[in-house]
Structure 1
Amino acid sequence: MAFKTEWCGGDVSVARNKRPQAADEKRQEIVAAARRLFIDSGYEATSMSRLAKEAGVAPNTIYWYFADKDDVLVAVVSAVMADAWPQYQAIADQPIAVRVLWIVRRLTEMSGLVTTVHARVPHSPAVAEWHNNFHLLTATLFRAELEALGVPPETVDAEVTIAVFTVEGLLTHGQDEDEQRTICETLAARWPSATS
């Protein structure tokens, strides 16, 4: 037997033998399940019913937290980025080539997701907005770094674009660690004082 409680304008059934779960906690469980499935099986191969089963919820429960599968994708890639950021802060004083390589290695699990994001951009305003914000954030970080290194103002926009595309390319094309290191060091060598 279940009882019902009002939540965000809808009924939520909770079995009497299960403890009520906070909405944020349940949402995080769905995102964690989606992250595993999207990375292991791929976005296209992951149906919402499969996601619901993996997350241990009824299929319609997902729609209490997410508008659609693209909304879940945005939550997954946002979670990957949020997990990486505090770890990045620990190496923020390293040379830029080391930091770029670290980012690439930590986000390698996103390589399939990066391809999926690019494929979904024309079809989903939510994914397109996330993608644009990712580029804006990455470009802003690179711009601040390159300006601090003394890259001339007339070339900084081009250098930022090259850096962003390099990171994105490394995430989507499976180079081994030595190739990744060489590419990051070659990128950093373009900028004055970047190797010191």
Structure 2
Amino acid sequence: MPRNRGLHDREAKRADIVGAARELFLSDGFERTSLSRLAKAVGITPNTLYWYFEDKDDILVAVLTAIVTEDAAHYASVADRPLTDRLEWLVDRLQRVGPLVSTVHERAAKSETINDWHNGFHAYAESLFAADIAAAGLSGPDADAMIRIGTFVVEGLLTHAPPPGASRAVIDQLVNAISRQPLSGGAHS
């Protein structure tokens, strides 16, 4: 047997588990998806899952990472568009996995694995519009605050599912706020 076959087989099986978990987590929810059911969907025993993942949270992180990796590849198609369009694209992409957004927020306080992933995702999402914040003349605490406001807006749109058109209006207001004078650095009357 070729020396790397075991590694290839392991990676293929991990990918199978992640694919099945993604489908089950999105259709039935993270909490309602048992490891037994996931293992059965992949054709392995539940204990075999632990050869590939530490626990269910580790599987969720692998699913989330796969989704973000796919989205990052597609982001190139909108990277040169205005900030409003890019934020709308981000919200639209994340709405596809809306139930997992809630799961991440629920699990982050209980799981270091999920919390670490969540913090990393925030850093990634914030990096998508940090240059726009700087280009608008915001820096230091003002820039940090606006980046956090943008993150909160995106998360709010995902967790509260506004009616059609409302997301764009909220994003438009956020981008308008970014393009105004700096928050604490401007002249006050």
TM-score, length-normalised on structure 1?
Answer: 0.83
SS of corresponding position for 1:22: helix
Q: What CA deviation, in whole Å up to 9, does each residue of 1:73-125 have, x standing for no partner?
A: 11111111111011111111111011100111011122111111111112111
In structure 2, the residue matched to 1:118 is 105
Structure 2: which 5+ residue stretches go unaligned?
1-5, 181-189
Aligned equivalents of 1:118 and 1:154: distance in 2? 25
Structure with the bigger percentage of strand = 1
Aligned pair 1:80/2:67, yes or no? yes
Q: Distance in 1 between matches of 2:53 and 2:101?
A: 20
Match of residue 28, structure 1, among 7, 10, 15? 15
C-alpha displacement of 1:185: 1.1
How many percent identity over aligned positions? 42
Secondary structure of the residue that 2:30 maps to in structure 1?
coil
Aligned counterpart for 2:51 among listed residues 53, 61, 64: 64
Question: Given that residues 77 and 110 in structure 1 are in contact (C-alpha distance below 8 angstroms), is that contact kept between their aligned partners in structure 2?
Answer: no
Aligned length: 176
Please provide the CA RMSD for this pair. Answer: 1.9
**Partners of 1:181 and 1:159 in 2: how far apart?**
18
Bigger shift: residues 133-142 or 35-44:
133-142
Shift of 1:154: 4.3
The answer (yes or no) to whether the contact 1:97–1:185 under 8 Å persists in 2 is yes
Given that 2:83 and 2:129 are in contact with CA atoms closer than 8 Å, whether structure 1 keeps it comes out as no
C-alpha distance in 1, partners of 2:174/2:82? 12
Query: What is the TM-score with the length of structure 2 in the denominator?
Result: 0.86
Query: Where does residue 49 of structure 1 map in the other structure?
Result: 36
Structure 1 gap segments, 5+ residues each: 1-6, 9-20
